[in-house]
Structure 1
C-alpha cells in the first residue's frame, strides 16, 4: 500500500465552500489511486477558505502523476465549489502543484500539474486528448456574436446570467456593483430634489448645488481652474483623454487660420515658423462630423466637430489659440480666438470639451479598451488550453471583463440607459461613431511608443500620461520577453506552435474580422512579434484602461468643464453670445446629475481589486517564472515610487498610471 498526501484548498470568496459530494483520485503513468471522498467523518469539509489534508491510498506506486481527478456531485441542491488548487506529496517527498481556480458543480475535472506546456511538449496521447477535449468544450460554451456590423465581435450572452460561472463577478463584486448602482440613483434623486424648483441653471455657479459634497481634490481643482486657457490645454495631455492631440505639421485646408488671427498669441513669431519649431498642436474631432445627435425626453441635443489649434508657449503650457466648431469653413462657421469677447471664447471651449466627452467615452474608453479587451479575452479562452504558457500569462488580465462588458451593453445601451439619458451622441450616434473609429484602428495606434511617435509627442515635457505610460509599457514588455523566452527557445518554436497561431487567427480574423489593413498580425513568425503583441494586449487591459477610466469623476464631476451634451446648436457668429445662451446650451439639471452619478459609479474604488502584477492565482508554478513575476512587481513598485516623488511637486497630481492604481484587468 502506498500513501499520497493531498492538500485541497478552497477559495476565500463568498460561497466558495460547498455541501456537494466531492471525490478525489490520482491518475498516473502506472495506474490509478483509490477514489476517496473529501468528507471527513461524513461531514461536508470544503468550507470557504479551508485548507484540508487527506491521505489517498494506492495499491501500488502509480509513477509520474498525470492528473488529479475531482468529481463533484450535488448533495441536495446545485452548489458550486471554488477550488483553488490541489497539492500532492508523493511517497518520495516530491510536492506537485495542480492549479484549478474554477467553480465546480456536478462535473468531473482532470487537473494537470502546473508546469506550462505547449502542444509540442506533450508527447503522450493522454495529454493530447485532454488538451483537445478542453478546447472543444470551451468552443461550445464561449461563442462569438456580432453586436453590429463593423464592430468588434463580443461574447454570445444577452445577460450576465448567461455567462459561465468562471466568467462572472464574484458574489462580493456583484453585490457591490448593485448596491453602488442603488447609491447612484439615490444620490441622483437627492441632487435633483435640491433643484426641483428650478427649470434650468442660470449661471455656471449654480452647478455648485450638485457639487457641494464632492470630495475629490482633483475635481475641486478642475472647478477652480476650468475657465483658464492653460488648464484647457493641460487636459489634452493629462486629462481623461490624453490620446487625441497631435503635433501639427500643416494647417488643414478646412481650417483657414491666418497669422493675423493668432498674432496676439504668438507675439512676433509667425504660424509657419512655430509649426517648423514644433510648437503647434492640433485636436481634430472630425469623427463627429455627420453623427446624428440624441433626443433626450423630446429635447433635441446638438453635436459639433471642432478643430482646435494649440501653441506650446515659453512656459511650456499648451495654450488654445484658435477654435473652429464645424469641419466646413464659411461665414457661419467663424474661427474663435482668445481675443474674442469672453463669453464667445468660453462657449467655443465648452463645445470642444463637450466633443471631447463624446469621443473620450465612446471611442477612447469604451471602444479602444473595453471592446478590444473583450476580443482578447474571448480568443484566449477559446483557443488556448489552460496549460498553455500564453493562457497562463493572459488569464489574470481577463478577470471580470466579459461580465462588465455584458452589463454595459444591458445598462448603457437600452432606450432608458445612461447613454440615451445624458450623452449628446446617444445610442445610435455611439454605434455610428464607433463603427467608423473601429475601422480606422491601426496596430501602431494601440502600441504606446508608436502611437506617441505618430502623433509627434515623444519629446513633449509635462505629458505625464506619456512619461508614466512608457515606463509601464517597458516594464510589461520586459516581463513578457522573460516569460516568452523561457518557453520558446527560438523563432521557429513560435511559428511551430499551432495553438498559438490558432489564437491570433481567431482573434484577428474572427474577433476583428471587419478590421482590414490595420497592420494587426494574423500569425507570428518571431518571438519579438509575439512579445510586442502580448505587451499591447496586457497594456490595453490594464494601464490604458486605467488612464481612460480612473479620472472620469475627477475631470467630469464639474459639468461645465466637460458637458455630456449641448442643448443648443453651435454659435454661427461672434459677439452675440450671452450667459443665457451658455446656460441654455449646457446640460440641464437632470443630465448634469446623471453625468455626475455615472462618472462616480464608473471610477470609484472597487472591491477585490487585483493591481498590475498582483497575480493572486498562481497559474505559473515554475520557480524561474515566479522569479520573473517578482522582478516585474519590484520594477512596478520602483515606477510607483518615482511617480510619487514627481507628484509631490505638482499642483495637480497625475496618479492614474501609478501601478497601485492600475488593475490587471477591466472590471468596471
Structure 2
C-alpha cells in the first residue's frame, strides 16, 4: 500500500474478549509511505494509552508555534488538543484568597501520564514512631538529647545545630542559610511599631557607631512575621497552643557575624510587649529566639515552601496543560519541571493539610489558620521577590559574604536564564513573535488570573511584550520548582530534628514581662512528645531525595535528544557541573557546609 503525505495518525486501544483491559505504553509509530521507501516517518507518542481514552492523535512535526503551522488540519489539531485538556483540567479552589489549584481530589483522576511512582529511600523512623502515641511533655533536656542521639547522630548538620542552637551567631546564620532564607531583609529605618531605641541596642554595636549609622551602612537586618499577627492558634492534644508575630532586629558585625540584637514578640508595642535583648537573663533571651524560630517554622512550611514552590508549580502546570498544546515549545520546556506538582499537591491536600493530618494534629498553624495565612501570603507576594537577582538585591543579601544561599542561587539562576534564553531564540525571532503568540499570551494571562488572582500590586506579568520578559518569567518558574524547592525542602530535617531549634508549636503563651521564666521553664514551652514525633516523621520522608532522583537540567523526554536543543542542554549541564565543583570546593573550607543549591543536589522538579 502507498501512502501520501501523512501529518496525523489516530490511535485507539480496544479491549478484546479474552484479554485483560490493560493500559499500553506507546513509544512511537513509524510509517513508510511504501514498502520500498527506505525513509521512515516517526510519530512520537511516549504515553500510556487506555481504552477509556478513545482516539488519540499523533503528529510528526517537531515543536512549533501556531503561526508556523501551514495546514488547517494541524491548526485544528492544536485547538482540539486544548479543548480536550480544558474539559479535563479545570480550576478549583483550595482556600479563598489563595492561588487556584487543579479541581481534583484524587491522584487516580490524573491518569497514568500525569502521575508517577517515586522510588523512596529507606529511612528508619521506627524510633520516632515508637513515641508517636506519647501525649506528655518532654521530661528534661537530657531526654531530648537521648531522642536526638537515636535520630540525628549520623547527620553532621543536625549535630552542628544541636551544638550551636543557643548561640546568637548561629541564629543569624540560619536566617541566611537555613530552611527559610526568604524572610530576612536589610533595613535603613526602624519599623514604627518596633519599640527599639538607639540607646537600647548600643551595647551590641561597635563602640564608635550608632544604630542610625549602622543602618546607613547597610549592616542592620529585620525579620518581621507580621503575616502571623492575630492568627488563631491550633489545639493540639486537646490543649491550646500559641502563636507570636515577632519582629527581630539583627546586626552584621565587623567580625562577619549576623546576630540578633532585639526581639519584640508581638506587632503592637506596649508595656505587655517588651523588647528582649541579648543582655537580658539567659532564659528570657533564649525563649525569645525560640519564639522567632517557631514563627519562622509556620511561615517556612506554608508560605516559603508550599505557596512559593508547590502551589506556584501547580498553577503553571495547570495553565500549561490548558493553554499550551503539546507541540508548543514552552509546553515541552516546562513540563519536566512542573508535571509532578499536580500529584504531590493533591496528595498534600488530602493528607498533610487535611483533618487528622500533621498540621491538624501537631502544628500551631492548624486547619483554621492555614487558609488565612495562605490568603495573607498571596496578598503579600511580589514578583520581584520571586526573581533571584531582584530579590537578593532588594533584601541586601547580594554582597553579604556569609549568605551562601544568595551566592549559589544567583549562579543557578544565571545558568538557567541563559538556558531559557537560548531555548526562546530557537522559536521566537523577535518580540513581535512573542506578542503574536496567542497561546503564550493565554497561558500567562491565565496564570495571572488564577495564580496571582489578578492582583496588579504583585507585579507579575499578565502578558508578554518582549522575549526578555518571557525569559525572566520562565526562568522564575523553573528555579522555583527546582532550586528553590531543593533549598527549602531538603534542608528541613537537618535544622528541625533538634526540636528546640524549630518548635512546630509552643505550649505556653508568649512572655509579657521579663524575668518570668527559669532555665527549666524554657523547655516546657516545647510541643509534646507525640506531636514532635509526628512532625519529624513527616519531615524525615520529605527531606530524603528519591532513588530515581533526576538532577537539574537532566531530561528523559524524547524531544531533548536531537537538534539544537542537545547543544543547549549540554551547555547548561556543563555550567552547572562547574558550579557544583565550586560549591564543593567552598564547602570543604566551611565548618558548616551549604550544599542545598549545588546542582547535583537539586531535583529537576517538585516530587516530594
Scaled by the length of structure 2, the TM-score of the pair is: 0.95
Q: Report which of the two structures shows the higher radius of gyration computed on alpha carbons.
A: 1
Give the secondary structure class of the aligned counterpart of 1:74. coil
Look up the match of 2:607: 667
Q: 2:189 aligns with which of 250, 258, 266?
A: 250
Aligned equivalents of 1:97 and 1:239: distance in 2? Answer: 49
Look up the match of 2:87: 140
* Contact residue 276 and residue 285 of structure 2 kept, 8 A: yes
Give the secondary structure class of the aligned counterpart of 1:273. helix
Aligned equivalents of 2:104 and 2:366: distance in 1? Answer: 23
2:526 matches 1:586: yes
Give the secondary structure class of the aligned counterpart of 2:7. strand
Look up the match of 2:239: 299
2:136 matches 1:199: yes
Aligned equivalents of 1:277 and 1:510: distance in 2? Answer: 41
* Contact residue 232 and residue 369 of structure 2 kept, 8 A: yes
Aligned equivalents of 2:9 and 2:582: distance in 1? Answer: 45
CA deviation vs aligned residue, 1:556-601 (integer Å, no higher than 9, x gap):
0111000001010011111221133212211111121112111111
Look up the match of 1:372: 312
Aligned equivalents of 2:30 and 2:202: distance in 1? Answer: 74
2:383 matches 1:436: no
Give the secondary structure class of the aligned counterpart of 1:517. helix
Residue 463 of structure 1: how far off its partner (Å): 0.7
Aligned equivalents of 1:97 and 1:639: distance in 2? Answer: 38
2:574 matches 1:627: no
Residue 147 of structure 1: how far off its partner (Å): 1.7
Aligned equivalents of 2:15 and 2:194: distance in 1? Answer: 69
Residue 393 of structure 1: how far off its partner (Å): 0.8
Look up the match of 1:616: 556
Aligned equivalents of 2:29 and 2:554: distance in 1? Answer: 21
Aligned equivalents of 2:174 and 2:363: distance in 1? Answer: 20
Kindly tell me the number of residue pairs found equivalent between the two proteins: 599
What are the residue-to-residue correspondences of 1:348-387 with 2, within 5 Å?
A: 348-387=288-327
Look up the match of 2:27: 84
Seen in structure 2, the aligned counterparts of structure 1 residues 87 and 236 have a Cα distance that, compared at 3 Å, is farther
Aligned equivalents of 2:377 and 2:414: distance in 1? Answer: 27
Q: 2:469 aligns with which of 499, 514, 529?
A: 529
2:42 matches 1:101: no
Deviates more, 1:109-118 or 1:217-226: 109-118
Aligned equivalents of 1:446 and 1:497: distance in 2? Answer: 25
Give the secondary structure class of the aligned counterpart of 1:82. strand
* Contact residue 129 and residue 537 of structure 2 kept, 8 A: no
Look up the match of 1:72: 13
Q: 1:227 aligns with which of 147, 166, 172?
A: 166
2:122 matches 1:122: no
What are the residue-to-residue correspondences of 1:519-598 with 2, within 5 Å?
A: 519-598=459-538
* Contact residue 452 and residue 458 of structure 2 kept, 8 A: no
Seen in structure 2, the aligned counterparts of structure 1 residues 208 and 95 have a Cα distance that, compared at 3 Å, is farther
* Contact residue 203 and residue 579 of structure 1 kept, 8 A: no
Look up the match of 1:338: 278
Residue 424 of structure 1: how far off its partner (Å): 0.7
Deviates more, 1:380-389 or 1:449-458: 449-458
Give the secondary structure class of the aligned counterpart of 2:459. coil
What are the residue-to-residue correspondences of 1:175-194 with 2, within 5 Å?
A: 176=120, 186-192=126-132
Aligned equivalents of 1:648 and 1:302: distance in 2? Answer: 41
Residue 61 of structure 1: how far off its partner (Å): 4.9
Seen in structure 2, the aligned counterparts of structure 1 residues 236 and 624 have a Cα distance that, compared at 3 Å, is same
* Contact residue 369 and residue 544 of structure 1 kept, 8 A: yes
* Contact residue 136 and residue 530 of structure 2 kept, 8 A: no
Residue 67 of structure 1: how far off its partner (Å): 3.1
Seen in structure 2, the aligned counterparts of structure 1 residues 487 and 92 have a Cα distance that, compared at 3 Å, is farther
Aligned equivalents of 2:350 and 2:312: distance in 1? Answer: 18
Aligned equivalents of 2:495 and 2:318: distance in 1? Answer: 32
Aligned equivalents of 1:139 and 1:431: distance in 2? Answer: 27
Look up the match of 1:18: none
Give the secondary structure class of the aligned counterpart of 2:378. helix
Aligned equivalents of 1:205 and 1:271: distance in 2? Answer: 40
Residue 102 of structure 1: how far off its partner (Å): 1.5
Aligned equivalents of 1:351 and 1:439: distance in 2? Answer: 24
Residue 617 of structure 1: how far off its partner (Å): 1.0
Residue 457 of structure 1: how far off its partner (Å): 2.0
Give the secondary structure class of the aligned counterpart of 1:101. strand
Give the secondary structure class of the aligned counterpart of 1:619. helix
Aligned equivalents of 1:264 and 1:455: distance in 2? Answer: 25
* Contact residue 204 and residue 560 of structure 1 kept, 8 A: no
2:15 matches 1:62: no
Consecutive unaligned residues in structure 2, runs of 5 or more: none
Aligned equivalents of 1:476 and 1:139: distance in 2? Answer: 30
* Contact residue 91 and residue 101 of structure 2 kept, 8 A: yes
Seen in structure 2, the aligned counterparts of structure 1 residues 87 and 346 have a Cα distance that, compared at 3 Å, is farther
Aligned equivalents of 1:629 and 1:105: distance in 2? Answer: 33
* Contact residue 557 and residue 595 of structure 1 kept, 8 A: no
Aligned equivalents of 1:545 and 1:515: distance in 2? Answer: 24
* Contact residue 412 and residue 418 of structure 1 kept, 8 A: yes
2:154 matches 1:213: no
Look up the match of 2:442: 502
CA deviation vs aligned residue, 1:372-415 (integer Å, no higher than 9, x gap):
11100000011111111111111111232101000000001222
Look up the match of 1:328: 268
| Structure richer in strand, relative to its length | 1
Aligned equivalents of 1:368 and 1:531: distance in 2? Answer: 19
Seen in structure 2, the aligned counterparts of structure 1 residues 645 and 84 have a Cα distance that, compared at 3 Å, is farther
Consecutive unaligned residues in structure 1, runs of 5 or more: 1-58
2:179 matches 1:272: no
Aligned equivalents of 2:417 and 2:257: distance in 1? Answer: 32
CA deviation vs aligned residue, 1:601-657 (integer Å, no higher than 9, x gap):
111121322211111112246511221111111111111111111111011111111
* Contact residue 439 and residue 516 of structure 1 kept, 8 A: no
Aligned equivalents of 2:449 and 2:310: distance in 1? Answer: 19
Residue 121 of structure 1: how far off its partner (Å): 1.2
Aligned equivalents of 1:453 and 1:205: distance in 2? Answer: 43
2:176 matches 1:240: no
* Contact residue 131 and residue 533 of structure 2 kept, 8 A: yes
* Contact residue 202 and residue 580 of structure 1 kept, 8 A: no
Give the secondary structure class of the aligned counterpart of 2:26. strand
